[in-house]
Amino acid sequence: MKRIISVLLENESGALSRVVGLFSQRGYNIESITVAPTEDSSISKITIQTMGDKKIIEQIEKQLHKLIDVLRVTEIEYENHLEREIILIKNQKYNSNTRKEIKQITDIFEGIIVKLTSLYYIIQLSGTSNKIDSYLAVIRNISEIIEISRSGVISISRN
């Protein structure tokens, strides 16, 4: 099962490397990772999406707490959080019918076409990972995807 872990740590050189190294050393996979300073620029927030049951996540949390730069580790519970991801998709441009279909589907998913040339479109979409995956499944059936860039999950607790 996918899990999201939020890590607050001192914004120091090497801090991120130690967190990623811990995952690597223990054989835990990182599905996505995002890092940015918090409202206090001396503290960063790392949002990690990983896979595992409750026991594995507890083990990851215990190991993370042992790292010197880590201030707080929290598993974000799915029912008590908001999650977003952003994606940029470069699609092959076809005829005007395909363009209309892509525009309609993109509108349904609340995305926008941010760049349109004679050769390709670039589409921006944000939402949950499931929403983005669903959009990709639909769009792949009508257009060739040239390139994808995904941000990774960001999350915030509702509590």
Q: Tens digits of per-residue pLDDT, 12-69?
A: 999 999 999 999 999 999 999 999 999 999 999 999 999 988 899 999 999 999 999 9
- 141 and 91 together in one domain: yes
Question: What pLDDT does residue 156 have?
Answer: 86
Task: Tell me what percent of the residues of the chain surpass a pLDDT of 70.
Answer: 100
The residue from 46, 61, 76 where one domain ends is 76
- Confidence at residue 99, expressed as pLDDT on a 0 to 100 scale: 83
- Above 80 in pLDDT, residue 122? yes
Domain boundary at 40, 56, 76, which? 76
Q: What's the token pair of residue 41?
A: 């620029």
- Please report the beta strands in the chain, taking only residues with DSSP state E, as ranges in sequence order: 2-10, 30-37, 43-51, 70-76, 81-92, 112-116, 120-127, 145-150, 154-157
Q: What is the CATH number of the domain that holds 150?
A: 3.30.70.1150
pTM strictly above 0.85? no
Q: Dihedral through CA 74, CA 79, CA 84, CA 87, nearest 10? A: 110
Residues 66 and 99 grouped into a single domain: no
Furthest CA-CA distance within the chain: 57
Q: In terms of domains, do 14 and 70 share one?
A: yes
pLDDT at 93: 80
Both 14 and 66 in one domain: the answer is: yes
Are residue 16 and residue 64 in the same domain, yes or no?
Answer: yes
Q: State whether 99 and 134 are in the same domain.
A: yes
Residues with Cβ within 8 Å of 36's Cβ and at least 6 positions away in sequence, in order, are: 44, 45
**What's the total number of domains in the chain?**
2
pLDDT at 118 over 90: no
The domain boundary residue, chosen from 76, 106, 135: 76
The boundaries of the domain holding residue 114 are 82-157
Both tokens assigned to 139 = 């769009």
Q: What is the C-alpha separation between 79 and 157, in angstroms, rounded?
A: 9
Question: Is the torsion defined by CA of 104, 145, 127, 11 positive or negative?
Answer: negative
- Residues 101 and 36 placed together within one structural domain of the fold: no
